[in-house]
Structure 1
Amino acid sequence: MLDTMTITKAVGGVCGALLIYLLGSWVGDTLFSMGGGHGGEQVASYVIETDDGDAGAAEEEPMDFATLMASADASKGERVFGKCRACHKIDGSNATGPHLDGVVGRPIDAVDGFAYSGALEQVGETWTPENLFHFLESPRSAAPGTIMSFAGLNKPEDRVNLIAYLESLGG
């Protein structure tokens, strides 16, 4: 039942719809144009004044690791561990990732029965609190080639709280 007239109507409908779309786009660009000068130059319609004051004073100086660890809270770290729970266990059994009980102070790549990628050896020899702190910020940056897909913890407070929680679990 596909004759020449049916095909012609379908092609005409598609061409008409495209024409209407392009015409609507042109009208929209004309009505709501942000360009204000020649050659497509963009002109701001208004300026928002801000009081920067002393821009250098607004930047906080990063706290050193020892100060951060001194203020760590293991109970808050237990809540942060919820992000790790999908791949890691703390009962001595492996899941997608190796178990994390006793991880603080444990040699890297040392859990029996877990197949490591070998990329973690770039971090160091032992999971010290400092190594964990830097690794947890961005696992893929700290150990390029790791199979760990976790993006990391941006907040230093979350990282030290998690380390304090893992440290409280012992081994």
Structure 2
Amino acid sequence: MLDTMTFTKVLGSVCGALLVLLLGKWVAEELYHVGGKGHGDHHDQAYVIDTGEDEVVEEVAELTLEEKFAAADAGKGERVWGKCRACHKLEQGANGTGPYLYGVVNRAKNSVDGFGYSGNLGEGDWTPENLYAFLESPRDYAPGTSMSFAGLKKWEDRVNLIAYLETIGE
């Protein structure tokens, strides 16, 4: 049964707990100067370790596309190929969801017979540079494509995959 005295005890307990919480917060702020008088005061570092070197920031030069292709590893590209295997095949003439990729490097775009391309791949050949741009973001390279692959974000994966594809159909 809930009477006035029980309600008063419950309300007093809640208010007492809140008061203890607020007092504890205030004491902690005073002890550690969080939000108190010392907050925002900046002091010198108490102890400095001299390493004998000044901080030197070296600029990392961006590699050219030729340098990236020179560092390509076809063996690692074969592992990256696993991401493509679900939709593409390496056997000549065997289309999957996507066109076959046998001899794709330096092959003309839109040239696989019996495959209906979507999107605007443009004219020309699948040069390593074009493949590099396409593999980075198929939707940006070929607007309107139905290819759902998001692309390979690491440049190492792209050049390794292209190096592997160059070995297929030589």
**TM-score, normalisation: structure 1:** 0.64
| Runs (5+) with no aligned partner, structure 2 | 1-17, 23-33, 36-54
Alignment of 1:51-62 (within 5 A): 57=58, 60-62=60-62
CA distance, structure 2, for counterparts of residue 154 and residue 64 of structure 1: 17
Alignment of 1:38-77 (within 5 A): 57=58, 60-77=60-77
Superposed displacement of residue 144, structure 1? 1.2
Q: Which protein shows a greater Rg?
A: 2
Residue 153 of structure 1 aligns with an amino acid whose one-letter code is: L
Residue 151 of structure 2 aligns with an amino acid whose one-letter code is: G
- Report the equivalent of 1:164: 163
Which structure 1 residue ranges, 4+ long, deviate > 3 Å from structure 2? Answer: none
- Report the equivalent of 1:20: none
- Report the equivalent of 1:89: 89
| 3-state SS, counterpart of residue 148 of structure 1 | coil
Matched, 1:78 2:88: no
Residue 106 of structure 1 aligns with an amino acid whose one-letter code is: R
| Runs (5+) with no aligned partner, structure 1 | 1-26, 38-52
Q: Check whether the contact 1:109–1:118 (CA below 8 A) recurs between aligned residues.
A: no
CA distance, structure 2, for counterparts of residue 95 and residue 126 of structure 1: 21
CA distance, structure 2, for counterparts of residue 76 and residue 144 of structure 1: 29
Provide, for residues 23-72 of structure 1, a one-character-per-residue CA deviation record: whole Å limited to 9, x for no partner: xxxx9xxx9xxxx99xxxxxxxxxxxxxxx667x4x63321111111111
Alignment of 1:106-121 (within 5 A): 106-121=107-122
- Report the equivalent of 1:134: 133
Percent identity over the alignment is 61
Larger helix share, 1 or 2: 1
| 3-state SS, counterpart of residue 121 of structure 2 | helix
